[in-house]
Amino acid sequence: MQKIEVFGANKLKGTVKISGSKNASLPILAATLLSRNKIKLKNLPKVRDIETMIKLIQTLGSKVNFKNNQLNINNNNQTKKFASYNLVKTMRAGILVLGPLLAKFGFAKVSLPGGCAIGTRPIDIHLKALSKLGASYKIIDGYVHAMAPQGLKGNQIRFSKISVGATENLILAASLAKGITILKNCAIEPEIQDLINFLNKAGCKISWLSKRTIKITGVKQINEINYSVMFDRIEAGTYLIAAALTEGKIKIKDVDPKIIQTEIKTLKKIGAKITSNNNEVNIIGKKKIKNLNIKTAPYPGFPTDLQAQIMVLLCKADKKSVIKEDIFENRFMHVAELNRMGARIYTQGNKAVVNGETKFLAAELMATDLRASVSLVLAALNAKGKSIINRIYHLDRGYENIDKKLKKLGAKIKRIN
């Protein structure tokens, strides 16, 4: 099993190109199942979750060629409706094939999803909403058996809570449903807008009626399309935090600064100097890091996927900070490992009290989930001496060539077997 070895205490300097968004690519890959035509996708990141989703749509009958971050899909013979546990167990996004298969065929059998162990993440919101489009379902032996023999029909649906996955699944299902669907209390993450952009370019009729209300007029088929996926805002935020943490000076390219305004404002409050233009952001990390209280929230709030990373930075602040995790109930598993490195973090329910002025110590570490694993890399970059991070398959689920990119910025980092 591979590990990452980090020799810390280097200032990061240089330019890093941000990859395509994992969290936008996954629902767009699921959306390709709606089509019976050829689709070309560009700017897909080469990470494990994307490779898993590609394998999943291949098992469903899609013919796929993935090379140099570009994917060609032919769905002429895509007829299968069964998504197995072996693939869906490793990532929660696997459940996103449910809506397209149900809309296209009137039947789907999809395993309940897996992913990082950071909370229960029930799919009851997805299922209740799909039932309002005319679907019936049973859960048997860990599989959702969903049926709509007369096809899906448009309806008005209000989500009981804001859910990215449920919003995506219902957009996909309603795109081929008969009539008009109105979705209320939707998530508004940029990745959802990217999914809508993709679908509209392919001939769907989807529009925003208000901030969290979407109107979808069902169409009969999806056209051929050539589409480039948006940048990964979580990867961008991770490298910005890495620069702030190491007193570095880096430029991130191929981004839209407007999409990451919350992250930029947060890092400015903490003390980093940041400037931006059309498609790049420049950051200079300062020696003095200011404390800050943060709570995670749906977009445009501070993203839960950057909570672990910002916690590492706040360990270096001049005073105590408090982080409130309002999205997932079990997302502080990195705390124990950071404390082994010299941090003084205490958790109280969904709050973490982060004492500042930490001098990180090198250590051998164990990654527990995707974002926790990158937080350990960040802490190791700031620690004197050699740290070893185990179970980096978590890291490879969401960060493309992170060791190579960090090495290019001057980090002493290598992958070892």
Which active-site residues does the annotation give? Answer: 116
Whether 388 contacts 4, CB under 8 Å:
yes
Q: Give the contacts of 49 (CB within 8 A, at least 6 positions apart).
A: 22, 26, 90, 91, 93, 397, 398
Task: Kindly state the tokens that stand for 302.
Answer: 């501070």
φ and ψ of 394, to 5 deg? -60, -45
| Residue type at position 100 | P
Cα four-point dihedral sign 111, 114, 120, 124: negative
Q: Which residue has the tokens 């370019």?
A: 201
Q: Give the contacts of 23 (CB within 8 A, at least 6 positions apart).
A: 164, 189, 191, 232, 234, 305
Task: Kindly state the tokens that stand for 249.
Answer: 């000076």
Between CA 250 and CA 117 the distance in angstroms is 32
| Degrees, nearest 5: CA angle 175-179-185 | 65
